[in-house]
Structure 1
Amino acid sequence: MSDVATAERAEAGGRARRQRPFWKELPLLIGIALVIALLIKTFLVQAFSIPSDSMQNTLQRGDRVLVDKLTPRFGSKPERGEVVVFRDPDDWLKDEPTAKPNPVQKVLGFIGLMPSAAEKDLIKRVVAVAGDTVECKGTGPLKVNGKELDEPYVFQGNTPCTVDDQGGQFRVTVPEGKLWVMGDHRQNSADSRYHQQDKNHGFVPVGNVVGRAFVVAWPLGRWNTLPVPDTFGQPGIKGARP
């Protein structure tokens, strides 16, 4: 037998001896998958669960939405009409019960394979950005920079503005670096209107925004995108932004 043939057989035998069984490689593969999932959650996309009825009918309690966390990292700021997830600005959730996930839910929430029950986040619609003047008189319509908004996403039976509670009537100008947010279920949403006495005067700091919710991913029967409504693109509405 030639020296070349002997060397080839020896190399093939070495590869066979070095090949590890699949069950030994499985933990490594799982570890790699978890690291990738964690990186996606941290930098790209994260799932969030809708905990209340404040965004009906756009979002239902228990819906899972996917949130784009990448574009804010490149300096993109939230725009009017976007549905955003944001960290609690100043104890907006102080009266809400804290969920108690089981160990499996904690792990899956940590790596982003399911919404994290421990995170104190809210989800609302941005209706005004820095420089905008937003106001409610009577039952509405809601106005931004003097433009009346046509809001078909407002919960059926609700009025765009609320007259029978404190905070429902207002006229404010949004400071630099802040947002004014409202829920689509106007008569069942503790949003910017009802936190005007907090340290931010009801405004949400842009730095608190986790990202934009862009799709309802679960349940499958409710799969839908979350585009910016046309009313926020009407001529003249954007004139006041710095």
Structure 2
Amino acid sequence: MDEREIQTDPGTEKGEKESWSLFEWFQALVCSVLVVVLLFTFAIRLIGVDGLSMVPTLQHGDRLLVVNSLLYHDYRQGDIVIARKESLTADPIVKRVIAVGGQKVDIDFSTGTVYVDDMPLEEDYINELTLTDEGTQFPLWVPEGSVFLMGDNRNHSSDSRSSRLGTVDTRYLIGKAVLLLYPGVDSVSGKREFSRIGLLE
């Protein structure tokens, strides 16, 4: 029996390799898009700051990276969070957690001092002392599963001092802001302070 060599067309082999490379590239692209979609659906979100209630920590127009409440739900005092409660506004609001469930909050509006569990808070992040009373009665005990929120720009912030908002059930929290990705225009200098980009505390 004659042994015959089967020869392949180099052009055909090259075409198959190119087709396979194109398929692999397309598959990688689809997987990457799917990962990004899942990440931004269940893990993180981008939120823009609207207003000046968190000055000086945050400025109007800041873009924040927010860890979704599905991943981060053990909220702590000092966390900067995004909340949604339509009794105050239909849009998400950015505030700081002042107290969590089981803690006592009191405010002396004559001195501008905030107390949590009868201890005055050291608040080096605020714009000015807390002098504005918005209707909530103090002292106040935060219900379990809720948080007490305030803006850092205390006298220009609608927050848990308002009877329209009050304490906020953690189910209304979208997540915790962890990173300033892009700065808005500073309300004092009128410029974008890119040195502010980074982790939020």
TM interval, short-chain normalised = 0.7 to 0.9
Q: Please, which moves more after superposition, 51-60 or 73-82?
A: 73-82
Q: Which has the higher strand share?
A: 2
**Which residue identity lines up with residue 131 of structure 1 in the other structure?**
G
Q: C-alpha distance in 1, partners of 2:72/2:60?
A: 31
Deviation, 1:191, is 0.5
Q: C-alpha distance in 2, partners of 1:60/1:148?
A: 26
Which whole-Å deviations, capped at 9, do the CAs of 1:127-148 have from their partners, x for residues lacking one?
0100000010123310000111
Report 1:176-215 matches (<5 A): 176-194=144-162, 196=163, 198=164, 202-215=166-179
Corresponding position of 1:60? 59
Which is greater in Rg? 2
Corresponding position of 1:82? 79
Counterparts in 2 of 1:28 and 1:169: CA distance versus 1, 3 Å? same
- Say if 2:117 is the partner of 1:142: no
Scaled by the length of structure 2, the TM-score of the pair is 0.79
Corresponding position of 2:89? 93
Identity %: 28
Deviation, 1:125, is 0.2
Q: Which has the higher helix share?
A: 1
Counterparts in 2 of 1:173 and 1:39: CA distance versus 1, 3 Å? same
Counterparts in 2 of 1:52 and 1:58: CA distance versus 1, 3 Å? same
Q: C-alpha distance in 1, partners of 2:169/2:198?
A: 28
Return 5+ residue gaps in structure 2 as ranges. Answer: 184-193
Q: C-alpha distance in 1, partners of 2:116/2:18?
A: 66
Aligned-residue RMSD, C-alpha: 3.0
Corresponding position of 2:97? 126
Q: C-alpha distance in 2, partners of 1:22/1:64?
A: 38
Q: C-alpha distance in 2, partners of 1:210/1:166?
A: 24
CA contact 1:162–1:168 (8 Å) conserved in 2: no
Scaled by the length of structure 1, the TM-score of the pair is 0.67
Corresponding position of 1:236? none
Corresponding position of 1:223? 197
Deviation, 1:33, is 3.8
Counterparts in 2 of 1:223 and 1:144: CA distance versus 1, 3 Å? same
Which whole-Å deviations, capped at 9, do the CAs of 1:212-238 have from their partners, x for residues lacking one?
1111111344202112xxxxxxxxxxx
Return 5+ residue gaps in structure 1 as ranges. Answer: 95-119, 228-242
Corresponding position of 1:174? 142
Counterparts in 2 of 1:23 and 1:91: CA distance versus 1, 3 Å? farther
